[in-house]
Amino acid sequence: MEFNRIFKIIFLISLIGFLGFVIDFGFLLSPQNQEFLSKYFFFALVVGITSTVLKYFTKSKVLKFNVIAFDAAHIALILLVLYYYFHLEMSSEGAKHWHSSFFVQLAVVWMFVREYSYLKINFKRTFLNPAQLFILSFLFIIITGSLLLMLPNCTHHGISFLNALFTSASAVCVTGLAVVDTGTYFTQFGQYVIMMLIQIGGLGILTFASYFSYFFKGGSSYENQLVLGEMNNADKIGEVFSIIKNIILITFIIELIGAIMIFISINQVHFNTLHDKIFFSAFHSVSAFCNAGFSTLTNSMYETGFRYNYFLHTNIILLLVLGGLGFPIVVNMLNYFKYKFLRLFHHSAKRNKHRTWVINLNSRITLITTISLTVIATALFFGIEYKNVLVEHHGIGKLVTAVFLAASPRTAGFNSVDMASLHISTIMITCLLMWIGASPASTGGGIKTSTFAIAILNFMSLAKGKSRIEIYRREIADISVRRAFAVIFLSLFVIGLGILVISISDSEKNLLSIAFECFSAYGTVGLSLGITASLSAVGKFVIIMIMFIGRVSMLSIMIAIINKVKHKNYRYPTEEILIN
């Protein structure tokens, strides 16, 4: 019991150290404050290494090898940093160099993560249900992000709270709408904060927090697993943390490969230093996979020097498509390719004509809908814009740009053409694509491809006079149909209400531009016809609310607010209602 109190005090020390890390980056400190901060870092790291060693003497069960390896690396890093500390003259310049060292910053953050993960965190369903916890976690990170973006070193000339809140909400909700230019208004530290918010918003703060806690403890309470299972769509309670681990691994692997490919596709001549080129690659890989649409380029992919870089555009398309498919679909596809690969080398499998059900129904519907929407939209855009925005492109460039136009509205938000020059019919199709959005359990927004597919299948089923929706020898559950039409109605209600309010508060704006902005916000897309920055305070706040609702879904908000009724074992007589 005494040790638990000690570890809580150590956690507070690590938390103060982490806040010192933020202050170090966020403010211009005097030499005296820098020296004080460097000494606190030294104290915190000494406490950190003591805490890590002490945990091994108070633990009753044997820790896993990966935890031991993590702690060994942690101790080695702190010892390296402390060795460096004792061999440095602690002058004002020396202190500045000490506490701004990458290894010191890494050690302080590493210590905070380790101490945080040791805390006992329980998600009480009696206090907060999963929907409420999910929504509050997003609100918390949005407000925290807006405060971070207001730090003096995040911007070149300062930023108002409303604009900081808008930028933070746009990043956390992986939207990409911006009231200020990300590349010129924010410093590189500010851009790092935005990239961090995009990553956390794409995966969810609870995903990171829960897995780190599980990683070090090797287990979690049954109640925690129930809550996390509902939020991560886990079919089995025992698979919750394996699903979370797969989500984190797949995300970082794809983003790493994406960053390497982007790095290869761009020219060093457009960057001042190698670090700038590396940061550009990492930022756009994270932004693309998380379907955020944020870019450090003023005109996104339409920027001079990047406009005709079709290799770069192709990499962005692949990243945003993979991110928009959803983690369950990506995992299911990986299992399918693994199954096909193993069959090539398994002789008995070649003789067996039985077709194994590897790709589940959810994956089939999502993939078919995604491919169909992309192909149809590409063909339409290619035909409509052939003599308009595509006229400056030649050969394969026209096709790549058309595919980019078709894929980006599916919650990505990057643009490789001048959006204001698009034909009116292209804008209308883009609104439809933004409304549909990405796939369920993905980093994107919108009503989701599965919802759209169920609506289409329901129309076809009714037209054929069938009472059930059947596809691929499976029947769609009635609850899925009801949920789909609830999502469709609520989305149109939110978008319509947003258009109404902004048309009143910003009456000088074109109605089409307002509607486009609202569809983009709800679909967490980030495309705009150029009115975002000039919106009034009311208009910006409305867009913030629509982005938030689009990310967490109106249905989740209603579930969080409205109390569930107890299941009753009776049914009233059925009676049909006249519809048409």
At 417 the pLDDT is 87
- Return the number of other C-beta atoms located less than 10 Å from residue 226's C-beta: 16
pLDDT tens digits, 333-357: 887 887 777 777 765 555 555 555 5
pLDDT value for 87: 61
Show contacts of 305-310: CB within 8 Å, 24+ apart. Answer: 305/267, 305/270, 306/266, 306/270, 307/416, 308/393, 308/397, 309/265, 309/266, 310/396, 310/397, 310/400, 310/401
Q: Tell me, what's the pLDDT at 224?
A: 55
Prediction pTM value: 0.84
Q: pLDDT tier at 18 (50, 70, 90 boundaries)?
A: confident
Taking residues 112-125, report their average pLDDT.
Answer: 65
pLDDT in tens, 532-570: 889 999 999 999 999 999 888 887 788 778 777 676 777
Provide the greatest CA pair distance for the chain.
Answer: 85
Out of 120-134, 169-183, 218-232, 448-462, least confident range: 218-232
pLDDT in tens, 146-175: 999 999 889 998 899 999 999 999 999 888
- Answer with the residue of higher pLDDT: 280 or 57: 280
pLDDT at 299 over 90: no
Evaluate if residue 227 carries a pLDDT over 60: no
- Residue 270 carries which DSSP code? G
User: Residue 330's pLDDT is what?
Assistant: 81
Q: Residue range 409-434: average pLDDT?
A: 88
- What span, in angstroms and rounded, lies between the C-alpha atoms of 285 and 263? 10
Buried b vs exposed e over 92-126: b needs ≥16 C-beta within 10 Å? eeebbebbebeebbebbebbbbbbbbbeeeebeee
Cβ within 8 Å of residue 560, ≥6 positions away = 129, 131, 132, 134, 135
Residue 218 clears pLDDT 60, i.e. is over it? no
Model pLDDT, residue 316: 92
DSSP string, 471-489: ETTEE--HHHHHHHHHHHH
Give residue-wise pLDDT tens across range 253-272.
Answer: 999 999 999 999 998 888 88
Model pLDDT for residues 361-391, shown as the tens digit of each residue:
888 888 899 899 999 999 999 999 998 889 9
Assigned token pair, 453 = 């597919």
Mean pLDDT value across residues 10-14? 84
Average pLDDT over all residues of the chain: 81
Q: Which has the higher per-residue pLDDT, 97 or 81?
A: 81
Rounded to whole angstroms, how far apart are CA atoms 3 and 5? 5
Confidence band, pLDDT 50/70/90 cuts, at residue 92: very low
pLDDT of res. 94: 47
pLDDT tens for each residue of 303-338: 888 989 999 999 999 998 888 887 778 878 887 887
At 440 the pLDDT is: 83
**Residues 132-139: what's their mean pLDDT?**
81
Asked if residues 317 and 403 have their Cβ atoms less than 8 Å apart, the reply is yes
- Is the confidence at residue 129, as pLDDT, over 70? no
pLDDT score for 346: 64
End-to-end CA distance of the chain: 69
Residues 281 and 266: their CA atoms lie apart, in Å, by 9
With a pLDDT cut of 70, the percent of the chain lying above it is 82
Looking at residues 238-253, what average pLDDT do you find? 76
| Residue 135 scores a pLDDT above 90 | no
Taking 70 as the threshold, does the pLDDT of residue 509 lie above it? Answer: yes
Considering only residues 579 and 417, tell me which one the structure prediction assigns the higher pLDDT: 417
The token pair at 376 is 């149809």
> What pLDDT does residue 439 have?
85
Angle at 243 between CA 240 and CA 246, to 5 degrees: 150
Q: Which two tokens stand for residue 429?
A: 């199709």
| Mean pLDDT score, 402-429 | 88
The confidence band for 91, taking pLDDT boundaries of 50, 70 and 90, is very low
